[in-house]
Amino acid sequence: MADSAQPPAEVVALAEQRAEARSAKDFARSDALRDEIAALGFVVTDTPAGYALAPRPPFDVVTLDRLGDATFAADARCAVALLVDGWADDGRTCVEALLRHTPDDVVVVALDLGNVDGAGLELHRLAQDHPTRVIDLHAASTMAQAGWSSSLTALMQACAPDVIAVMDISTVLDGDALTPLLELLDDASVVAAGWRGVDVDLADNWRSFVDAGPGDVDALLGYLLVVRRAAALASPPHPKARFYRNADMEWCLAMREAGGRLVAGPAGLPVHQERHHGYHDSDPEYRDRESRRTYDRLLQRFRGHPDALRPRTAPSSVSPVT
């Protein structure tokens, strides 16, 4: 195969023909030429300058709407749903910790979004090394292109077990933190349990959330939570939530409003969080704009609806979430 910086002339010629077909809006021919290019070992992507060619990766790439064509990890007690949107080292650390600290009937089902900085290749290597514990799925779109909600919902639809653990790759297990959360779902009234819970600050007229201790909570943070698949898909993340911040709380309030209990796990679970690149290293303007949009939508839907909150027995005195 030719070096990735210099594709063969045959491949370049097909890519030029594809660009002409797209300009002419002949999308059937464009798709056929894309498949010819793939058969020769290359992937063509559209760019503002025209197109780019790269060697075809050693895995199949699908669109998000095709993920639900099959379900995975059918024999597992729990599927850990991971969105991988770059940060290959973080993904490897997260998955390796899961393999060390969870039972064999817990299977990681990870969705690579765009193979950013080779994160999809690293995920594929992990799946090859641990074929019974790690399933790698790959989408052409990045997280920024597809959006957090669409990506997570598609991934949960592709997971077969009745219970799904939603986890961020910045979260690292130091021991079996998952089993205590799974055991909380033995109570049929509980639809989700998580590492960190929060409550709406009613004294602040819903303008903030505060950390909550173990037990019933208004919402769970998406760094690590387990959820019943049926409840998650009946009340999924809002389709307009493109960035995760505030969207996990919006999602949890929807599940609570639908009648389920949300419970924070016991204190001292063996888990910690490394640098959360998805927040700290995202575009600040995009991050803040999308976070505000989600929080405004959350207020419009839920403020003034006590059925979306856990029962209150006394005013909260805990500190605001940062």
For the cut 50, the answer to whether the pLDDT of residue 147 exceeds it is yes
Q: Residue type for 301, please?
A: R
Domain definitions of the chain by residue range: 9-55, 64-308
Burial of 62 (0-12, 13-18, 19+ CB in 10 A): middle
To which residue do tokens 């037990």 refer?
Answer: 215
What pLDDT does 250 receive? 98
What angle do helix axes 88-101 and 119-129 make, rounded to 10 degrees?
20
Distant-in-sequence, close-in-space partners of 204: CB < 8 Å, separation ≥ 6: 320
For the cut 80, the answer to whether the pLDDT of residue 317 exceeds it is no
DSSP 158-201: HB-SSEEEEE-TTEEESS--HHHHHHHTTSTTEEEEESSEEEE-
In CATH, the number for domain 64-308 is 3.90.550.10
Q: State the pTM of this model.
A: 0.84
For the cut 80, the answer to whether the pLDDT of residue 315 exceeds it is no
Q: Residue type for 25, please?
A: K
For the cut 90, the answer to whether the pLDDT of residue 68 exceeds it is no
Q: What is the mean pLDDT of the chain?
A: 92
